[in-house]
Amino acid sequence: MSLNYTELFKMCGLDEAWQEANKERLDKFLYQIFIRTQEDVDASIEWTKGQYNTDSPGVRKLLSVMMRECIDYALARDEHEIVINYARPTMCTLSQGLHVAERRINKELGYNKYYARGTSIVDVMIIMGSVFNKSNWMIEIAEDMGQTAAKGHCSEYQIWEGGLEKGMIPVPDVEIGCGIFCDQAPEVELMMADEFGFDMVFTDMPEDHAWDSWPAMDPEAVKFISENTEMVYKYLSEKYGFTMTEEDKTQGALEATQLYTTYFRIAELLSRTDGLPISRADLSLAFIQFIVGGVYVEDLLEGFKLIEKEIRGNIRKGNWVCPPGSPRVFATMTPIADLRFFHEAEDVGINVCNLWFEYLPEAGLTAPYSSDVPKEQMYEMIYRFNGLGDLCGSQLRLVKDAVEKLKLDGVMVFTCMFCRPLCLPANMTKDFLGKEHPDLPVILMELDAYDSRNYTPEQYRTRLESFAEILRMNKEMSA
């Protein structure tokens, strides 16, 4: 059946010429992800419009990158000889070198031998969730297979598992497992490697440093990740012929730095602005991409710049999502596959002016490195981000610092039930802030980044409305 998907992909920044040139791929992609009727396409259009401002050039540019990454991943087995995945949620300081190497090697060979990306899972989750509204379905497939959240597998892995099971995404040749964010993740990956029959290699990262050590990270841990990553690169070279050069790694680090600095400029602008000039839902596209990077890095950077331009233009013209004077809050997490939460928050006038990884106190940037080796210094910087160093200890300090330095009106602490790194510090953060800033409104809310089945807009609307009123009254009382 021939589907009319022109509007859908145009909305995602892929013009008709690109669609025409990639028609066969698009037809295959949609079929593979079970978008098989015109109703599916039309529903996706409406769903996407409800998630993002699809008239925004910046949003379209970023969606175009994610959509291409998602299509590339879905068709990776058909279009490449060897599929190398670098698991989630990768920091692009680690994976961007892979992307550079993929581009270079395939160009030298004259064909697409390698698919080597650290973006795959994340972009699948965003596109399948926020464009095609299929992430919950993929989670349920995984649950049917016995991979319930109650077994300790987060919804991210459930989406991956569901996608693999249904053939929506390909089984890789090798997966680079990573414990950067969750020590459980590599275990899940190993289990899936056994189930689906793929090779595994680990960028093992000890997540927990001693409490209170931040920003001084354990030099042994830093050295370990640096050496371990080299071992992984060596493994890829020896077994799969995928050889990253020092130039690839350097270029990767440079591109990652460009993404980080461009995004942090936007984050800094928002955190210092009175009023919210862009929906957090739209900005989430940039937020995710600065973390994971990708092969379309020039388009990513252009998308970031377009978003920044829109933000600055909106500030100048006084076009606000939340007007000046709206309560400004820090959020400890962000939804990723379903952004309606942000619209609800903005609807009631809550300006989420800073969130999660966006905030890095000065000490995180200026504290002396534990190593003289530039590469190890880069790895140490990864540890200094919120929640990635000594997990609970650093989050408490970072949130407190954000409240004080950014002069925030409140904090939204999210407890993500099926995520150990995110649910453990939640209550601690609230209690800590209650002691440090007794009059600061802090709300504890359940939310999942990908699984929206238990979190309806009606449920969190009551909480958000009430929290918004508490914030406003508090602001008035302390004025």
Partner 1 sequence: MLAAGVDVGAATAKTAIVKDGEVIAWDVMPTGDYVEQAALDITLSALNKAGYTMDDLDHVVSTGYGRRAVKFSERAISEIICHAKGVNHMYPEVRTIIDIGGQDSKVISVRPNGTVADFVMNDKCAAGTGRFLEVMAEVLKLDISEMGPTALSSPHPSIINSTCTIFAESEMVSLRAQKTPKEDIVAGLHRAVSRRVGILGRQVGYKEVIAFTGGVAKNSGVVHFLETFLETKILVPEPPQLMGAIGAALLANSNLGVTNFHDEPEEPAGDVGFDVSGEI
Considering the complex, what minimum distance in angstroms separates the CB of residue 317 from partner 1? 10
Residue of 343, 475, 359, 346 whose CA lies nearest to 410 = 475
197/317 with CB nearer partner 1: 317
**Measured from the CB atom, is 365 or 473 closer to partner 1?**
473
Q: At CA 254, angle to CA 250 and CA 256, rounded to 5?
A: 115
In the complex, the smallest distance separating the C-beta of residue 299 from partner 1, rounded to whole angstroms, is: 22
Both tokens of 442, joined, read: 């802090």
Q: In angstroms, give the least distance from the CB of 160 to partner 1.
A: 23
Q: Return the number of other C-beta atoms located less than 10 Å from residue 15's C-beta.
A: 12
Q: Which is nearer to partner 1, 57 or 206 (CB)?
A: 57
Nearer to partner 1, 33 or 278 (CB): 278
Beta strands in 72-173 (DSSP E): 82-86, 114-117
Nearest-approach distance from CB 470 to partner 1, in angstroms: 5
Computed on alpha carbons and rounded to an integer, the radius of gyration of the chain in Å comes to 21
Least distance in angstroms from the C-beta of 136 to partner 1: 10
* Closer to partner 1 by Cβ: residue 157 or 450: 450
Task: Report residue 172: phi and psi, to 5°.
Answer: -75, 170
Rounded CA-CA distance 448/88 in Å is 16
| 402 phi, psi to nearest 5 deg | -60, -45
Compute CA distances 85 → 96, 358, 360, whole Å: 12, 26, 29
Least gap, CB of 262 to partner 1 (angstroms): 20
**Secondary structure percentages of the chain, helix, strand, coil, to 5:** 60, 10, 30
Q: Which is nearer to partner 1, 202 or 450 (CB)?
A: 450
Please say which residue, 423 or 470, places its beta carbon nearer to partner 1: 470
Which residues of this chain interact with partner 1, rule CB under 8 A?
43, 46-47, 49-56, 133, 277-279, 281-282, 310, 314, 319, 321, 340, 343, 347-348, 441-442, 444, 454, 457-459, 462-463, 465-466, 469-470, 472-474, 477
Inter-residue contact 275 to 316 (CB < 8 Å)? no
C-beta closer to partner 1: residue 328 or 340: 340
The letter for the amino acid at 305 is K
Omega before 323 within 30 of 0, i.e. cis: no
CB of 348 to partner 1, least distance (A): 7
User: CA–CA separation, 74 vs 139, rounded Å?
Assistant: 17
- Min dist CB 49 to partner 1, Å, is 6
| 208 DSSP assignment | -
DSSP assignment string, 352-374: EEEEGGG---HHHHHSPPS-S-H
